[in-house]
Amino acid sequence: MTVTIYHNPACGTSRNTLALIEASGETPEIIEYLENPPSRSRLVGLLKAMNMPARALLREKGTPYAEFGLADAKWSEDELIDQMLAHPILINRPIVETPRGTRICRPSEMVLDLLDHPVASFTKEDGEAVTYPAR
């Protein structure tokens, strides 16, 4: 199975998602998107695959979202995408792509439905236990 994660190693949710992928036996392609942001066509493709408007992918916490006034409805889809490309920290994470689908994995256990052999149980960095029913 091909698994790609758009990852921010400074983010606990992203680290937990990556750990869940690896615990499932997959070796994902890891794209540290803050250092290697997606192209416009790639970002648009991810949004389409997630059936999500750009506004829904914007991250508010720890970003210039408020400073730029991105909550204002005046921003078009293309303008919001421009902002995410210029400031990749605005892209919420982690985004995971597999043959089973593409989604933002918040919380991290959202990744389990995308994996062929998800782990049945996992403990997150903060000690929270995650269980996943057998398919």
Question: Tell me: the pLDDT tens digits for 30-63?
Answer: 999 999 999 999 999 999 999 999 999 999 999 9
Question: Both 17 and 52 in a single domain?
Answer: no
The count of domains in the chain is 2
What's the pLDDT at 1?
Answer: 87
Residue 108: strand, helix, or coil? helix
* Bridge partners of residue 8, in order along the sequence: none
Residue 134 has pLDDT above 90, yes or no: no
What's the pLDDT at 32?
Answer: 98
Question: Both 97 and 129 in a single domain?
Answer: yes
pLDDT digits (tens, 9 = 90+) for 65-109: 999 999 999 999 999 999 999 999 999 999 999 999 999 999 999
Question: Both 54 and 86 in a single domain?
Answer: yes
For residue 102 the two structure tokens come to: 């593409």
Question: Both 83 and 42 in a single domain?
Answer: yes
Output the domain CATH number for residue 108. 3.40.30.10
Question: Both 106 and 61 in a single domain?
Answer: no
Calpha distance 133→119 (Å, rounded): 9
- Cα dihedral 32, 54, 60, 106 in deg (nearest 10): -60
Which residue out of 3, 11, 43, 80 is catalytically annotated?
A: 11
**Domain range enclosing 118:** 1-33+93-135
For residue 119 the two structure tokens come to: 């782990």
Calpha distance 52→117 (Å, rounded): 26
Q: Is 11 one of the annotated active-site residues of the chain?
A: yes
Question: Both 51 and 78 in a single domain?
Answer: yes
What's the pLDDT at 133?
Answer: 84
